[in-house]
Amino acid sequence: MLEATLEKPAGQYGDLIARAVRICNAADVMDMNGHVSARDAADPNVLWINSRKASRSTLTAADVVPVDITTGKRIGAGDEPPSEFHIHTEIYKRRPDVHSIVHSHPQHILALSIIGQPLRLVSCVNPFLPEEGAPTFDSAVLINTQARGIAVAEQMGQAGAIVLRQHGTVVAGDSVEQAVVRMITAELNAKLQVETLQMGTPRYLVGEELAVLVKENTSPIIIRKFWHFHEETARTMGALDGLA
């Protein structure tokens, strides 16, 4: 099975993940250590992820590597996945609905975690977080062991995101496009939350109003529009140079 996976061209996931990482970088939600993964549609026990060492600014399809989700081993020879790949493998094991994961360390989500404020919805844009806010993993350590990956995945449960205190955040989606848009909109929401906390007590989105917003503001058409906007913004910045 692993050989069959290796015979498949990485192109489909290689280009998509390279593009996704660069779009996140252009949107200021990626840094030198972040990563994006996708579950292989043809083999759900395989994920594709940017390598540990490749620059997130100039990532190409050749820098995207396959990992066996069950064993956590890199499939084949070549560059290794990031040390925090356990985040991805343990969430994929528990969430058949998840097909893409983004992990990075955006500033405003980090700032909220430092003062012990949950990431809660203040923005009507793509409101995918639970009403009570994203769960928080109460540790600042790297998720570089399987035990830590399990702890994060279990605390995340069925949520679309989890905050890692004084470390970063993880978002999950049913596609690479949705996961990327979720990371960008989560950080924009956090920025608004940080700004309004300096002015008073934010009015969080709850109840029936939130239910309507979720129904109307998170559709696949809207996600596609967000992705397209950020992709084209990245392109005009030159952040996609070298990709098709």
∠ CA 237-242-244, nearest 5°, is: 95
Residue 28 zone, left/alpha/beta (φ > 0; ψ -120 to 50; rest) = left
CB of 34 vs Zn ion, minimal distance in Å: 7
Are residues 34 and 102 in contact, defined by beta-carbon separation less than 8 angstroms? yes
Q: Name the one range near Zn ion by CB under 5 A: 20-28, 108-116, 160-168, 174-182.
A: 160-168
Closest of 191, 166, 174 to residue 227, by C-alpha: 174
Q: Does 149 bind Zn ion (CB under 5 A)?
A: no
Does position 168 interact with Zn ion (CB under 5 A)? The reply is yes
User: Rounded to an integer, what distance in angstroms lies between the CA atom of residue 152 and that of residue 92?
Assistant: 12
Chain centre distance of CA 149: 15
Cα–Cα–Cα angle for 52, 57, 63, rounded to 5 degrees = 40
Count residues binding Zn ion (CB under 5 A). 1
From the list 6-14, 42-50, 164-172, 218-226, the region that binds Zn ion by CB under 5 A is: 164-172
Closer by beta carbon to Zn ion, 109 or else 214: 109
Binding segment toward Zn ion, per CB under 5 A, in 20-28, 54-62, 73-81, 162-170: 162-170
- If the CB atoms of residues 167 and 218 are measured against Zn ion, the closer one turns out to be 167
Of 133 and 168, nearer to Zn ion (C-beta) is 168
**Residues contributing to the site for Zn ion (CB under 5 A):** 168
